[in-house]
Amino acid sequence: MNYTKTAILLAALTGLFLAIGYALGGEGGMMIAFVVAAATNLFAYWNADKMVLSMYGAREAGPAEAPELHRIVAGLAANAGVPMPKVYLIDDPQPNAFATGRNPENAAVAATRGLLEMLDAREVAAVMAHELAHVKNRDTLTMTVTATIAGAIGMLAQFAFFFSGSNNRERGGLGPIGTLALMILAPLAASLVQMAISRSREYEADRVGGEISGDPLALASALEKIAHGVARMPSETAERNPATAHMFIMNPLTGEGADNLFSTHPNPANRIAALVEQARMMGGARAGARTSVPRAGTRPRGPWG
């Protein structure tokens, strides 16, 4: 269902770009904005993993430093049918995690100190399964395409007065007020669709992560703990870099919780309810659980575990 929703939202975003681009800048302005946005986001697609890991001070942790976490991730990667990603640790008290990398062959998963200290090993495994679901689903590519189109719409809005004046007058077009309205509303509409796609990918990663670990209730328990932890422990780095918020399993920014138009993440309560239903459909919390999932109550061995 979420794959279909993502496809529909991407189609809507593309249609919005074409309609606004033609209205504001004609074919020429539309193509210029798209090329510039594509070039910018293509650079980000190839380099975003290094940039965001560096931004959060993440350091790669080998099997000797975090043996249990490596074992968990390796087992889950085998379950998911993806290559073993690199494992990174972030010295941040806020419990959170994210995945990055342009494809499954160049992926990395990162966990904060707060996550490893707060969750037991079973919950950590469920969170890593969620992140591997993003890798498996190639959500980095999806969000790059989304960012490209949304960025092109934003550029069209900025270039509106340069591109639209003569073309619109020749066609009896929008006029100054209409152009100004589109300059304001077009980027807003694009951002809303972009956020909706991000929320859709989170629901899908929860579902696929539950299948990878075989333990949806562990992810539900982890999300509840993470939500409380995020509310109590702001991340200074995330607050300085709000554009990275969509990457995390839980929005790291303070004051973000509601499942509304302006949220990059679904409401935790809605995600938990969906996971509880998934567990029921699977026949219980541990139905189908893989051997890579630790027992409840155990803790990862290694730094902060």
Query: Is-above-0.85 flag for pTM?
Result: no
Span between the terminal Cα atoms of the chain, in Å: 36
Provide the pLDDT confidence category of residue 145 given band limits of 50, 70 and 90. Answer: confident
Q: What is the pLDDT of residue 57?
A: 95
**Residue 162: pLDDT band by 50, 70, 90 thresholds?**
low
CA dist 180 to 147, 176, 260, Å? 23, 6, 26
Q: Which of 68, 123, 131, 204 does the annotation list as catalytic?
A: 131
pLDDT for the residue 280: 94
Confidence of residue 94 (pLDDT cuts 50, 70, 90): very high
For the segment 16-43, the average pLDDT, to the nearest whole number, is: 73
Residue 241 pLDDT exceeds 90: no
pLDDT tens digit string along 173-227? Answer: 556 777 677 778 877 888 888 888 889 999 999 999 999 999 999 999 999 999 9
Rounded Cα distance between 11 and 196, Å, is: 13
pLDDT at 287: 45
Active site residue 170: no
99/132 Cα distance (integer angstroms): 7
pLDDT tens digit string along 56-68?
Answer: 999 999 999 999 9
More confident residue, 13 or 126: 126
Of the candidates 195, 180, 181, the one whose C-alpha atom is nearest the C-alpha of residue 262 is 195
Q: Where are the domains of the chain?
A: 2-282
Contact 101, 85 (CB under 8 A): yes
Q: Report pLDDT for 257.
A: 47
Judged by average pLDDT, the poorest of 127-131, 164-168, 300-304 is: 164-168
pLDDT at position 146, please? Answer: 79
pLDDT of residue 107: 93
201, two tokens: 């990918």
Burial 53-88 (b: 16+ CB within 10 A, else e): beebebeebeeeebebbbbbbebbbebbebebbbbb
Query: Which of 134, 129, 136 is CA-nearest to residue 293?
Result: 129
Structure tokens at 230: 């995020």
Percentage of residues in the chain having pLDDT higher than 70? 81
- In order of 33, 147, 149, 160, 181, the CA distances from 39 in angstroms are 10, 11, 11, 20, 27
